[in-house]
Structure 1
Amino acid sequence: MTKHASTGFEHDLLLRIVKLLNVTMITIPFALCWFLYYAQRTEAPFYAKGNYLIIALFVVLYTVFGRVYDAFLMSMQRIAEVVYEQFLAAAVSDFVMYIVIWLLTKHLPNILPGVVALGGQVLLSTVWATYAHKWYFAVFPPQTTAVIYDGRQGIERLIGQYGLDKKYDVQLAISAEDCIANLAILDGMETVFMSGIHSHDRNIILKYCIDKGINVFVIPRIGDTIMSGAHHMHMFHLPMLRVRRYNPQPEYLFVKRVLDVVISLFALVILSPIFLITAIAIKVTDHGPVFYKQTRLTKDGKEFDILKFRSMRVDAEKDGIARLSSGEHDDRITPVGRVIRACRIDELPQLLNILKGDLSIVGPRPERPEIAAQYCAEMPEFALRLQAKAGLTGYAQVYGKYNTAPYDKLTMDLMYIAHPSIIEDLKIMLATVKILFVPESTEGVAEGTTTAMDEQNNDLVHL
């Protein structure tokens, strides 16, 4: 076993132990809440095995939701981010268990003990995140890191910007051409980041890194993303990869549509008071129309009118020029608009678009024809995202930001399209909750930005 392999095994083993400690700590408040209150009020109280089954169910739920919300990545995220993600995982798990308890007690149980338990979980999460963070960086020093680039630079800046300089000590930033001329320059490195490198050069460097036991992070190009969805098969007694246009199984499309209808109907009923309050607030403040229609593109370039609560002035685009929002400083946004945009309430009328069939809950976000044409003129691959029906939320919305560069959004959307799965759709739906109160996800583009190339020139920010 090489030194890198041995160190990696020890690293992963210790991390698993520390994460298991977190699951145990978060389970304790729920277990106390169950044993001291809810267990005694069930219709038919459990014996020991039944009680343990309830606790085990919570453990499974918290572990699953913790993975969905990236709640265990204390080495990759700030303490506040870890606590926020664990709060979400615990809150969703507690909510599901509350429904289970409701069924067991056969009446609506008192929610207060559950709220107290959630408070204890947040407290223990804060303690765990703080000490786990300190422990990790005390035990594991920063990894010697090299950044190799071709068409785009700036990874080394992002490592510092996102607080990952404690994990990755960038000692080398070099072009792919110079690296290939002297691959031995990577000897002694523990981690390599490759950014925007063409497949031929990337493969040479990748094979060298694997041979030397060096961890590699690759920012994919469009071709890499398309190939990731290839079907593995054999033909002519040879290994073969079959790549074709997005063509999911009929049963996937059927289940996806059923989920779209059921979830959107349920959401419309539950959120109807918010619809009413928002409509009144918009009408009272400037007496303009409550809703705003805008032409967007969905599957195969079909146009449809997307429906939103109006968040900008009625004359926001009186000159007829399509403009992306520049964020909270955009003077076209109304006072009510700032509130509903911050809470994503302006997007809720799109539930009607989902019922109609123009949108799905999960898919690439629909783009305006004018802006899509600009992107396609400079980046023809942008049209590839129209293989699937557009969505209310999507991979790029969950893992990117509003002002993420079009090329990167396209890559994310193609990653989703390459692997159609109901499980992936459910994960994205759940992960959408995570970004609802994160300001970064609604940052605007630079003022005056209207073309794909304008945004693409901001690679250092949007990688």
Structure 2
Amino acid sequence: MTKSRFSSISILLAFLDIGIINLSYHLCYLIIFGPQSPFTYWNAYFKVLPFVCIGILLSFYIFDLYTVAITRSLLKVLCSLFAAMIINTALIMSYVYIIENSVLPDSVALTATVLEFFLFSISRTIIQLLFREVYKSKRLLFIEKNTSFETRRLIKKFANHKGFSICENANRHELQSVLDEVDVIAINPGIEDKMKVIDLCVKKGKEVLLVPDLIEILLYSAEAQCVDDTLLLSIKPLGLDIRQRFAKRVFDIIISSLMLLVASPIMITLRILIPILSPGPAIFSQERLGEKSLSFKVMKFRSMVDNAEQKTGPVLAVEKDPRITRFGAFLRATRLDELPQLINVIKGDMSIVGPRPERQFFVDQYRESIPYYSYRMAVKPGITGLAQVKGKYTTTPEDKLRFDIMYIRNYSLGLDFSILFQTVRVVFQRERAVGLNAETNTGVKNLVS
């Protein structure tokens, strides 16, 4: 076990956080007013308390602070905590002075926030250290087929994963002799006799990790049926039924309208700034393929120099891409360049959540090299998606496809809300906003060549 989410630990953390909120305000009143705090201020506190608790719980959920994992560094946990507290403080101050018109003093609100951050930091640090003490890194054996780019990439990912320590690599014929010395077996995609390897590991009580192929993803949520005394699994076509399509469209219209209303001042400002900072239009439009491979014009705020592909033709963005302007790098890092796509959502070309739309040039190449790539076009493309919150810009098209198919197969409004909340957290993670690095870009070129 390397991670705990929506478990008893998460529930205990939520109750602990509520206790810390109350303790912080009580300490704050004691520090500022002494034992005899004015009743008026206590009355204001009790009015604000429900909103404070809801705000903290929601912001902590968005920033994944109810997931305890040994794979996360303590620094990242504290940075997420700091970002969540900044946003929550802004919301509380807005509520207090705009909506509630409370008499809660600034000194109380700000002092309580500092105390909360201090106590939250202590609690999360202790819990993170205890979790690492209880759940040690698992000894991992990697069963490989060859030394291809895919194999090297997977080994590197496991080597960088704090939840595992790689003992050694082996082929399937050596498995029996080393199985007792490890905790987890990771199987390289495409290995022969995969079921025999899994059967042996299960009999030995070992956990198996494998990169799923399409049929395994489709079976993940297959419906069990019986015909007489025979068990069957029903694999339904990818896509949404009419009720899901209606619910998703209503969700898209409501969320995109609200976001356009809130973001309109930012969009107007960017519309003015971009042409000033970089010659050319503010809005960049490009042909992309959407649902059922139908083409449409996707809109973005321009983050590259004008006519960036005039000499090179279609090229994927890379890390430190010279075509990206300095202001464009900021737009990409904060995802502000995607805001015009809210208009695409209103028009019905896109959804808020879904697979990212790609250009015809890349789709044609991916279809030739990646089996089942067209399956991701069973739904409308999205501004954000499961591949965007779980992966990075450096994630390969094959891995993104697995996330996209998993999303389509398991679609629900709850999943859309969850991805939307997680997108807020991803905006604050700079490493997810860079382009392809040199190694990954070479691998992608190999995939599509």
The correspondence for 1:187, drawn from 180, 186, 198, is 180
Aligned partners of 2:277 and 2:89: how far apart in 1?
A: 39
Residues 335 and 61 (structure 1), Cα distance of their counterparts in 2 relative to 1, 3 Å cut: closer
Contact 2:60–2:84 at 8 Å: present in 1 too?
A: yes
Could you tell me which residue of structure 1 aligns to residue 291 of structure 2? Answer: 299
1:121-270 alignment to 2 at 5 Å?
A: 121-150=116-145, 152-154=150-152, 155-162=154-161, 164=162, 167-175=163-171, 177-179=172-174, 182-198=175-191, 201-270=193-262
Match of 2:346 in 1: 355
Hey, what does 1:31 align to over in structure 2? 22
Q: Take 1:237 and 1:16, find their aligned partners in 2: how far apart are those partners?
A: 36
Q: Which residue of 2 aligns with 1:433?
A: 424
Q: CA deviation at 1:118?
A: 4.2
Question: How far apart in 2 are the matches of 1:12 and 1:267?
Answer: 32
- Equivalent residue in structure 1 for 2:61, among 55, 62, 66: 66
Determine if the alignment matches structure 1 residue 120 to structure 2 residue 115: yes
Q: For 1:20 and 1:357, how far apart are their aligned partners in 2?
A: 39
**RMSD of equivalent CA atoms:** 3.7
**How many angstroms apart in 2 are the aligned matches of 1:66 and 1:403?**
25
Relative to structure 2, which stretch is displaced further, 340-349 or 293-302?
340-349
Please state if 1:41 is matched with 2:44: yes
Question: Alpha-carbon deviations, 1:318-356, whole Å to 9, x = none?
Answer: 1371111113x2111223212212211111000000000
> Residues 141, 283 of structure 1: CA spacing in aligned structure 2 closer, same or farther, 3 A cutoff?
closer
Work out which of the residue numbers 366, 389, 403 in structure 2 matches 1:375. 366
CA distance in 2, matches of 1:373, 1:280: 36
Q: Tell me the CA shift for residue 452 of structure 1.
A: 7.4
Instruction: Report the Cα distance in structure 2 between the residues aligned to 1:293 and 1:419, rounded to whole angstroms.
Output: 31
Pair 26,370 (structure 1): closer, same or farther in 2 beyond 3 Å: same
Residue of structure 1 aligned with 2:391, choices 393, 400, 407: 400
Do the aligned partners of 1:364 and 1:391 also contact (CA within 8 Å) in 2? yes
- What's the CA shift string for 1:274-311, capped at 9, x where partnerless? 11211111122234211110001111101000001111
Identity of aligned residues (%): 25
What is the CA–CA distance in structure 1 between the aligned matches of 2:246 and 2:315, rounded to whole Å?
36
Provide closer, same or farther for how the CA distance between residues 235 and 87 of structure 1 changes in structure 2, counting only shifts above 3 A.
Answer: farther
Q: Tell me how far apart the structure 2 counterparts of residues 195 and 157 of structure 1 sit (CA, whole Å).
A: 13
- Counterpart Cα distance in 2 of 1:449 and 1:215: 29
- Contact 2:139 2:184 (8 Å CA) reproduced: yes
C-alpha contact 1:260 1:355 (8 A) present in aligned 2: yes
TM-score (norm 2): 0.82
Is the Cα contact below 8 Å between 1:22 and 1:128 reproduced in 2? no
Structure 1: gaps of 5 or more residues: 1-7, 458-463
Report the CA distance shift for 1:64/1:437 in structure 2 as closer, same or farther (over 3 A): closer
CA 1:68–1:227 in 2, change beyond 3 Å: closer, same or farther? Answer: farther
Q: Which amino acid aligns with 1:204?
A: K
Shift of 1:17: 7.8
Q: What is the CA–CA distance in structure 2 between the aligned matches of 1:239 and 1:92, rounded to whole Å?
A: 51
TM-score with structure 1 setting the length:
0.80
Deviations 1:157-215 (A, max 9, x none): 323324x1xx423223112x324xx43531242222223145x7333232333333323
1:292, 1:309 within 8 Å by CA — same for their partners in 2?
A: yes
* CA–CA separation in structure 2 for the residues paired with 1:235 and 1:91: 57
How is 1:251-290 mapped onto 2 (pairs within 5 angstroms)? 251-290=243-282
**How many angstroms does 1:85 deviate by?**
3.9
1:71-125 Cα offsets, whole Å, 9 max, x none, are 432312111222344456667777888899899x854776955555444343333
State the one-letter code of the partner of 1:161: N
Using the TM superposition, give the Cα deviation of residue 412 of structure 1 relative to its aligned residue in structure 2, in angstroms.
0.8
Aligned mates of 1:114, 1:193 — CA distance in 2: 50
Are the structure 2 counterparts of residues 109 and 415 from structure 1 closer, same or farther at C-alpha, using a change threshold of 3 Å? farther
Does residue 311 (structure 1) correspond to residue 303 (structure 2)? The answer is: yes
Q: Judge conservation of contact 2:59–2:87 (CA < 8 Å) in 1.
A: no
The aligned runs of 1:5-24 (5 Å cut-off) are 22-24=13-15
**Displacement of 1:443 after TM fit?**
1.9
Residue in 2 that maps onto 1:460: none
Contact 1:148–1:174 (CA<8 Å) still a contact in 2? Answer: yes
Give 1:135 shift: 3.2
**1:385 CA drift (Å):** 0.7
Q: What secondary structure sits across from 1:153 in the alignment?
A: helix
Contact 2:426–2:432, Cα closer than 8 Å, also in 1: yes
Q: Is the 8 A contact 1:143 1:191 kept in 2?
A: yes
Q: Is this contact kept in 1: 2:238–2:378, CA < 8 A?
A: yes
Q: Any unmatched runs of 5+ in structure 2? A: 30-39
Question: Partner residue of 2:33?
Answer: none
Aligned residues of 1:405 and 1:455 also touching (Cα < 8 A): no
Q: 1:241 to 1:38 in 2, by over 3 A?
A: farther
Aligned length: 430
SS in 1 for 2:365: helix
Q: Mean alpha-carbon deviation: is it higher for 81-90 or for 350-359? A: 81-90
